[in-house]
Structure 1
Amino acid sequence: MTKAAKSAPARRAQPALPEVQFADDGVVRTLHLGTEWVQGSMLIDKPYDIELEYVQRMMAWLLFVPAEGITKRHAMQLGLGAGALTKFCHKKLRMRTTVIELNPQVIAACRGWFKLPPDDARLHVRLADAALAVLDATLHGTVDALQVDLYDHEAASPVLDSADFYADCRRLLTEDGAMTVNLFGRSSRYEASLERIAAAFGESAVWAFRPTREGNTVVLAQREASRPERADLLARAADIESRWGLPARKWLRVFSPVAP
């Protein structure tokens, strides 16, 4: 979720599950829920790359795990958006990938307009409420990378943002797993959200990026806190860039632990 470059005309109140729309300029295709707010995007000529900067940063959990063995790990997205994270984890990283999405139109749009592959042995897109899905005990301790980007059509603040919700998210993670969260919205209070994440994960386990130009702040929380040496992070960042083309060395200039 981020803000479109151009403003839109005044909008009427939207239903609980608004109509899904897309727009493109011949280079980038964007997904909308009846407003100017961009719910996700895709490079038309490179549909499995990640176009938005904040979405790239949602992959920062890669800094904390060895590149070898990635294909044996499990990624989970709460909120499908335009499917950028899902496609990257499934197609580029070859991971087992699970998605929780509340709006059936979003799933249909991603399959029709955004090159989301059909379900297979490694990909499972579930029509479900994320608030309930995180309570599923069969998923506890199975998720290596949990990516949370939950916004409605108005994008005022995260739909789920309580300490209890973040505690439920932590229970999903493997021992060396991590959660990344997009914090954005005109009614969102970053400091309050950060406090709730720290309450669930422990302050020493929480890292944060500086905000993007559009105002998206990505926060990362580890299941178990670790503080890799700078040299190790730089080496992993270089490897991530070489293998998958993500700007990981740039991340390290704007990414740091919340607690000293």
Structure 2
Amino acid sequence: MHKKTSRHSHPRIYQDGDCISLEFANGEIQSQMLMSDPNHLVLTYTRAMMAFSFFHQKPERIAIIGLGGGSVVKWCYQNHPDAGITVIEINPDVISSREQFLIPPDDHRLRVIEGDGADYVANTKDRTEVLLVDGFDAYGQSPQLCSPAFYKNCYRALAPDGLMVVNLCGPEDQGSIDNIRNAFHGRTVIAIPDDGENQLVFAFKGKRSQGEILPAEELSEKLRDYVLIPVQIQ
């Protein structure tokens, strides 16, 4: 079991014209929303994460580690109306901002849990088709969300045909990528949006999908058409 330390920071929320943002004390923007179009994915890395739908079109269950301003949650809620969505967020101050970011209240399809994402995947009995990991705080990516044990538990928590997507953005990215590849037996695709520093790792469980085995150049073109942004594949 990992040792928990307090990394909570009160998020700062501010509005500039039509755009409302959530950031931590270090000034890094965690989430943005257009008041005129709350479900629009403003940040390109969030749009790249939604490429999971290219690989898994109709998941019955989606689990999301990290709530932030709820951009990913709202997109999934709108675009996958038949999916049950579970969100795990460790910072109660982030959860308390959900109304400001127009995140839907809990209902029969959506539940937001205050808790540690590492504990969730270690203990859950659910088997989710899609697991989205976007767990950052004021200090960067939470250490418990990039360990070898965490990714092995993610693999276990997935359904037999499950897919995990991890947002990485930091100096330890290669170590996380190595841990993911080890946990998922090398079955990964890395997508890098052209206009940012984020790397999105798609990790697969179960039988191979057609998208997974496409040549990098062809997959890059298909994902670009799918998420409407240039994406490099590694």
TM-score normalised over the length of structure 2? 0.85
| Residue among 89, 98, 118 paired with 1:101 | 89
Displacement after TM superposition at 1:63 (Å): 1.7
One-letter identity of the residue aligned with 2:72:
L
Percent identity, aligned pairs only, is 29
Contact 1:63 1:233 in 2 (8 A): no
C-alpha displacement of 1:158: 4.1
CA separation of 1:179 and 1:123: change in aligned 2, threshold 3 A: same
Matches within 5 A, 1:210-229: 210=192, 212-224=194-206, 226=208, 228=210
Give the alignment of 1:34-113 within 5 angstroms: 34-65=25-56, 67=57, 70=58, 73-94=60-81, 95-111=83-99, 113=100
Instruction: Tell me what 1:7 maps to.
Output: none
Residue 233 of structure 2: aligned partner: 255
Corresponding residue number in structure 2 for 1:5: none
User: Could you give the per-residue CA deviations for residues 147-199 of structure 1, whole angstroms, max 9, x where no partner exists?
Assistant: 101112122x44321111001011111122111111112xx222221111011
Residue 133 of structure 1 aligns with which residue? 120
Deviation at 1:225, TM superposition (A): 5.6
Residue type matched to 2:108 in 1? A
Distance 1:237 1:213, change over 3 A: closer
Q: Unaligned regions of 5+ residues in structure 2, if any?
A: 1-5
Residues 17, 103 of structure 1: 8 Å contact kept = yes
SS at 2:105 equivalent: coil
Q: 1:120 to 1:221 in 2, by over 3 A?
A: same
Q: Distance in 1 between matches of 2:219 and 2:9?
A: 42
Equivalent pairs, count = 223
Please give the residue correspondences for 1:93-172 in structure 2 after superposition, counting only pairs within 5 Å.
93-94=80-81, 95-111=83-99, 113-139=100-126, 142-155=127-140, 157-159=141-143, 160-172=145-157
In 2: Cα distance, 1:226 partner to 1:109 partner: 39
- Which 10-residue stretch deviates more, 115-124 or 210-219? 210-219
2:167 counterpart SS class: strand
- 1:117-167 CA-to-partner distances (Å, cap 9, x unmatched) read 11000001001111211112422xx21111101112122x44321111001
The 3 A distance-change label for structure 1 pair 122 and 194 is same
Task: Kindly indicate which of the two structures has a greater share of residues assigned to strand.
Answer: 2
TM-score normalised over the length of structure 1: 0.77
- 2: distance between equivalents of 1:247 and 1:174? 28
- On the 8 A contact 2:48/2:193 being kept in 1, the answer is no
Describe the SS at the equivalent of 2:125: helix
Confirm or deny: 8 A CA contact 1:148 1:180 kept in the other structure.
yes
Question: Pick from 18, 25, 32: which aligns with 2:9?
Answer: 18
Q: Matched residues in 1 for 2:109 and 2:221: separation?
A: 29
- Work out which of the residue numbers 162, 173, 186 in structure 1 matches 2:158: 173
RMSD, matched Cα:
2.5
Instruction: Report what 1:6 is aligned to.
Output: none
On the 8 A contact 2:44/2:193 being kept in 1, the answer is no
Residue ranges of structure 1 left out of the alignment (5+ in a row): 1-14
For residue 144 of structure 1, what is the amino acid of its counterpart? E
